[in-house]
Each structure stands twice: as structure tokens, then as C-alpha cells.
Structure 1
């Protein structure tokens, strides 16, 4: 039966922590999955959560720590000694251990690494910390199963048994030459059906997808998605096998990127959580609100420049929100599709073909919506020339908004700027300004004021 966290359960845990009944707590929690333990830790205050971490076995709590929100984990780590942190790291894969160490203050990092008993683990963590955060080197784990192409099948099996003790999940068996360079992968089926004296060089598969330690994480995710890989090996500049990246690491990366892009599209410029401080939330939101303010003031200034039009045709004033809304909606739609396409590497072909396609699409949508506006004007008895003015303005605004929404993300991407920034207030504000200007300018031409 799946574990369900209830208020009564949390209260029971808190009561046992209060009386420091460690035996009862172990008995209550020992059968739970580490993800369930993490869920419990999220509900406790930092001191109680730290008590549980110290109480339970490290092979359970180390996994639970990695499931926690970054802020919660940071508060717990602040309450642990370097020795206690090192004990947790000893039960983690190297990539997770490096992530935890990276969250610590620099002086604490050194103390923790010195407390790690396993010298190989300590060296691996130091190596992973040296890579840039957004590269495969920082994302990879050192644990893997690799065999030499010169080994026999019998020797290979013995060595695989030894290596697999330190690997949580064996996704692939990688083959290297005597210099440690990646030469291929080994099929388990071929290994089991081959003679014990057969050399690995005779049965391994030379074709293998891989990335280098400097490959950006987005490119790693794209390759693994394209070829439906559960794991991918990582090599250095000389082709030497350095580690592997598994699908769970890529899923976490994609999730983090999606959250960041969603916030950016909503006009939040920093990675924040709902329970962050008022100051942190203000710093993340205020810049885009200021942009929206200046955009609104720009729209007001434009409308003041057409004061004569509003005096002669006051009905135009009531359609201003409609024009601004259509401009913003079309721009966000276009930019969202392009940003998604850029993320998935689906934006192909020349910019001219993209231009023709977007103009054609905008014409179809604009004409359909314009006809509906004219029909609405006919039903309510509105002056036909005014209805035509609004329809033509809407068509023009939709075309311009679609072009802005399409090409701004592409230009940002080519300049190395995250195109997700173009799906939020940036596009909405710019299209509001252009939309209102076009609306009154076209009205001036048609209505003749």
C-alpha cells in the first residue's frame, strides 16, 4: 500500500522527536521509502529534520537528502558537522555527492572533503567540482561498469561483478582500450551467449553515442531524447571514458530548466520559490513590473498624440484594450511555439521561409477575427467605417505581433540569450505599444482625422 502522509502521522513523529525516543522512530520509519522520508522531513522544522537525519541510517537518509528542496537541504546541512556530512556523502553516487558539496560554503567544503574516508570518492568529488555547472562533466557520475576489449568473457564477468558493487543501476557496459579510451559498448545478450575464452574485442558493439565533459547540458538532454537513451557515456578531449549520465539526472535537469523558463515567461527574473522571503520575491518580480510600467506609460503617450482622434471618434477608445489584448495574445502564442521549437531543436529552415509562414498564418487568423469584428459592428449598429477600421487595424496588429513573437526569440537565441525571456512581459509590452500605435495610425488613414 502506498504511503500517505497525514497530519496525525507528522504529529506522532514530532512527539517522538520531542521525547527523543529514537527506537520508536526507527521502528516507525524503517520500512518507508527514502522519498517518503524526504516528504516527512519537508514537513518538520529544521531542528527536528536534522535530528531524524542523525538518527536514521545514512544509506536511507542520503537518498532522502537528495529528494529535498534545495532550501530545506541547505538548512539541514548547516546543522550537521563536516564529519556527519561526510558520512552522508559516502552513501551517495559521486554526482549527487558533488552537488551537495557545491552547496556548502567554501571553507566547509574543504573540511567535509578531508573527513571523507574513501580517498577515491573524495578525489572524484573534487574532479566533478572543477567542471562548469552547465556541462556534462558536472552532471556525470563516476560510477559505471567498464571492461577492456582485450579481456576474455570469463575475465570480463569477474570484473563486472566487482565493479557492479559500487553501481546503483547498471544501464550499460562500456568497452575501452588499454589507454582507457571509449571504443564501444557490450550487449549482455552477446556476453551470455559467447564462449568464456572469447575476447571482448570480438563481441562488443563499436557504435556508441557519447558526449564530452564540456558538452552543454541542453545538448546532452537533446541527444538522450533523440536516441531514447537511458544513459550516455562521457569522455574527455582525448576520448578517455570519464563517467556516465543517467536518465534521472537529465529528467531533473529538464525539470529545473522548465521551471526556470516558466518563471521567466511569467516575468520572474530569478529562480524563486513560493515560500521565499518578500525581499527575494520582490527582486525577482519588480524589474519586469517596471518594464510593464514604462510600456504602459509609452502607450499613454501614444494615445495622447492621437487626442484629436479620440475627440472625433470616441468609440475608438473602447476598442483600445481589445487591440492591445490581441497583440499580446498573438505575440505570446508565436513566441511560445518558437521557444519550444528552439528548446527541442525543431526550428529548421531559412528565416525567409519562417517569415512567409508566419505572415500567412497571421493573415488567416487576422482575416477571420476581422470578419467577426465587422459582424459584431453590424449587429450592434456600429458605423461600418469604424468597424472596417478596427478590423484592418486588428489584421495589421496580428501580423506585426506574430513577427515580433517569432523573430525576437530567434534573435535572442542566436546572441546566446535565453529565448524564454521573450514569452513574457517583454513580448506583451512591446506588442501593446506597437499595437496601439498601429491602431490609431491606421484609424487616422481610414477615418481621415
Structure 2
């Protein structure tokens, strides 16, 4: 299948058809596209054109289109639809997608839409999902699943599965529960097909099943599914009852959003923003860290002023020229160390005691710092720099690299233990702090060795 590519010519054709209200031609044209492609088209149309297209297409298609739209565009379109029209769209969606869309609307509108949904069980399921925080397993799960009771025989089980599967888009697993709906295990389709119809499910189901709880964080759900290569995972409530399932497509969205958030934190952006957000939103997200960088820079200025006697000594005045080098090395090493630790924390790969981690980081820093220190001394020989000055710079760089690596390693670990996103330690925070420490160590060590 050729990947969809939205062209200016196609957009103009669609706009022309909308303007002339050529409904049949529009329907024929749209029939060729996947719902995600239609969402991409609507995102590029103006509000009136996008709304016209949504109202024209059948609800079965547009319900999926709504889930793929840009949030702002979706909100604007929903404002132009009646409660009944939205209820019809929601009725075609799985409960998790339906709850996600409804959660964006005002509370009064939500009640009105829920009351208009014809399938009352579907409405009750959506209301239940709205109780959960969106960043938890309860907020991610869908109510649609296939479950059988351990007290049934295989024949009854097959009949019930056929009935339940009508409401499930994709059957990943068959879950087994007791008479109180408590999760007991899972059922192998192969065992079901090769077992006598009179056999009890309790005799053939697999008791080992990975699951998550409704209160588990979305990141924990993603970690479990990634670790055990799960396409779907059941969700249980506080007393062990099966209440839903989470599928891999929802977890991919979580991983993507978490990666985007961490990337922005690493770049010094304090809240989730996009390139087309308003100037004010972008300013609020970026200015705080820029202020921190400014304060850090001013702090470095005061530190350097404390060693201004270096400037009065013609033999050591060249030390000031190495200040950017020391600051850059401190920042680079700190960011490298913190990035590795943050990635390890996200993947639950940071193992062992803090002492082992300390020894490992110090050893690595000594090796890297030693190699770079030798290069600095070699550079000093090339430019006929006094050996004592080259040795001072080299030793300072070694010390700065060790300290920067320790800060970059342990700050994320401490933040993580205190429940703060450790990704914050991979951006300007770690760079600025290491710049200040690096400059201070550089001049302090130089003062001790050279005696100025």
C-alpha cells in the first residue's frame, strides 16, 4: 500500500467540493482514505470545511477520525456538533477512546451527551472510566474484553465468547474469572479447540497471567507490557475483579507522550508545548529555564571575580582563556551521565547499590578525564605553554569531570526517589549547576597549585 501524502492539489480539490456541496463526489473521494488520513486532511481544512466533512461522512468512520484529530481542532468541531450528534459518534467508539474525547468537554455537556447515548451499558462503562485519572491504568483501559467463568464448560464458554466478541474490535486474550468476577487466569485458544466440549474451564485455563491495577501509573503499565511483550494486559480493581484491559496501541501513545515530555524537559521546557502553540504559551514554557541559566551565568561571573588576581599575574593570565573549555566539559559530562541514568530509570535498568554506582562512575570519570587531561598537556607542548600551567588545567579538568559525572548520576536518582521526574536533570538544570561547580573548581585548584 502506498503511504498517504497530503498534497496542495488534493486539499484544493476537497475545498472545491465542499464549497460546491458536491456530497457524492466527496464521499467517493473520501472512501479511498484511511480514517487517520481523513483526520490529517481535516486538520488542514478550516473549521467550517472540517465540520462539513465530519457531518457528511457516516458515523462509523468519523468516530475513528475524531480520535486522530489534533486536540484543538477536535474541540472546535465538537462545539459545532449537537449533543445527539456527539453521542452517535461516541456510541461507535471503544469505551477508552470515548472517555478520552468526552473528558475534554465541559461537565454539563458531558452529562447531556451521556444521556443521549442509546446503549445504556456503553454509557455506564464510559461514566465508570471517567472516574479514573487519565495517567493511570484505569484511565487507559477499555471495558471491551472477552471473559469466561471457570465454572463453565467448554461448550458454554464458546457460546458466550461469540456473544461477547461482537462488541470487541480485536480479541487479544480470553480471561478467566470466578463467580465474583475476580481474575483467575487466561485461556489458550488452542486448548479450547482441542478439549472436549464437556470439560470444565477450571481444568484447562492457565492460572499465570500478568495484570495491572487500576491505580497503577501509566508508565508502570508501559513498563510491564514492554518487559513481558504483551499485546494486551488485564486490569483489576482494588479487590481483584477484572474491570478492563489495556491494549498495545494505548501504551504506544503513553511511551510517545512520555518521550516527548522528557525531551522537552531535557531541552529546558517546563510544560508540554508544540511548535504551533501561541507565543505566550511557548514563552511560559521556556522562560523559567532561561532565567535559571541567566542566574547561573551571573553566579559564574561572581566566582570569577573572586579570582581576579589571576588577571594581574601575566604568567597565569592565560587561565581565563580556558574557562569556556572547563565549563563546556563540565556541562557535557553532566548531561551524558544524567541522560544515561534517566534512560535507565525509565527502563527500570538501574540496578545495584549506590556504592556500586559511585565506584563505577568514578572509575569511568577517571579514565575519560585522564585521557582528556593528556590531550590538554599535549596541546600545551604544541603552543609552548608552561608545563605547570598545562598540568594545572589538566588536573582541574580531571576533577571537574569526576564531579560533573557524580552530579549527573546522583541528582536524577535522588529526584526519582522523591517522586520528581528525573528527566528534569538532563537539561539546563544540570548544565548550569555543573558550569558553576566547574569554574569554581578550576580556579580553586589553580590557586592551590600555582599559588597566585
Q: TM-score, normalised by structure 1?
A: 0.98
Distance 1:72 1:402 in 2: 45
Q: Secondary structure at the match of 2:235?
A: strand
Segment drifting more, 253-262 vs 306-315? 306-315
CA displacement at 1:7 relative to structure 2: 1.0
Q: Secondary structure at the match of 2:311?
A: helix
Matched, 1:412 2:415: yes
CA displacement at 1:108 relative to structure 2: 1.5
Distance 2:393 2:69 in 1: 54
Residue of structure 2 equivalent to 1:209: 210
Write out per-residue CA displacement over residues 363-388 of structure 1, whole angstroms, 9 at most, x where no aligned residue. 00000001001111111111211111
1:11-50 residue pairs with structure 2 within 5 A?
Answer: 11-50=12-51
CA displacement at 1:164 relative to structure 2: 0.6
Distance 1:203 1:242 in 2: 23
Residue of structure 1 equivalent to 2:229: 228
Write out per-residue CA displacement over residues 23-79 of structure 1, whole angstroms, 9 at most, x where no aligned residue. 111010013111111111121122211111111111111112112222222222222
Distance 2:213 2:234 in 1: 8
Distance 1:377 1:72 in 2: 60
Residue of structure 1 equivalent to 2:142: 141
Distance 1:390 1:267 in 2: 30
Distance 1:105 1:8 in 2: 38
Distance 2:306 2:200 in 1: 83
Distance 1:55 1:311 in 2: 80
Residue of structure 1 equivalent to 2:128: 127
Residue of structure 1 equivalent to 2:363: 360
Distance 2:115 2:326 in 1: 64
Q: Secondary structure at the match of 2:151?
A: coil
Distance 1:106 1:26 in 2: 34
Q: Secondary structure at the match of 1:311?
A: coil
Write out per-residue CA displacement over residues 242-297 of structure 1, whole angstroms, 9 at most, x where no aligned residue. 00001111010110011011001100001100000000000000000000000000
Residue of structure 2 equivalent to 1:448: 451
Q: Which of 430, 433, 444 lines up with 2:433 in the alignment?
A: 430
Q: Which of 345, 349, 355 lines up with 1:346 in the alignment?
A: 349
Distance 1:387 1:15 in 2: 72
Distance 2:343 2:113 in 1: 41
Segment drifting more, 9-18 vs 309-318? 309-318
1:33-432 residue pairs with structure 2 within 5 A?
Answer: 33-312=34-313, 313-432=316-435
Q: Secondary structure at the match of 1:133?
A: coil
Write out per-residue CA displacement over residues 224-253 of structure 1, whole angstroms, 9 at most, x where no aligned residue. 111111101011111111000011110101
Q: Secondary structure at the match of 2:186?
A: strand
Q: TM-score, normalised by structure 2?
A: 0.98
Distance 2:80 2:310 in 1: 67
Matched, 1:5 2:14: no
Q: Secondary structure at the match of 2:181?
A: coil
The gaps in structure 1 that reach 5 residues or longer are none
CA displacement at 1:4 relative to structure 2: 2.6
> Deviation above 4 Å: which 4+ runs of structure 1?
none
Q: Secondary structure at the match of 1:195?
A: coil
Query: Cα RMSD (Å) of the superposition?
Result: 1.0
CA displacement at 1:199 relative to structure 2: 1.4
Change (3 A) 1:378 1:93: same
CA displacement at 1:110 relative to structure 2: 1.4
Distance 1:289 1:84 in 2: 46
Distance 1:34 1:352 in 2: 53
Write out per-residue CA displacement over residues 314-343 of structure 1, whole angstroms, 9 at most, x where no aligned residue. 211111111000000000000001001111
CA displacement at 1:441 relative to structure 2: 0.6
The gaps in structure 2 that reach 5 residues or longer are none
Distance 1:24 1:33 in 2: 17
Q: Secondary structure at the match of 2:175?
A: strand
CA displacement at 1:401 relative to structure 2: 0.3
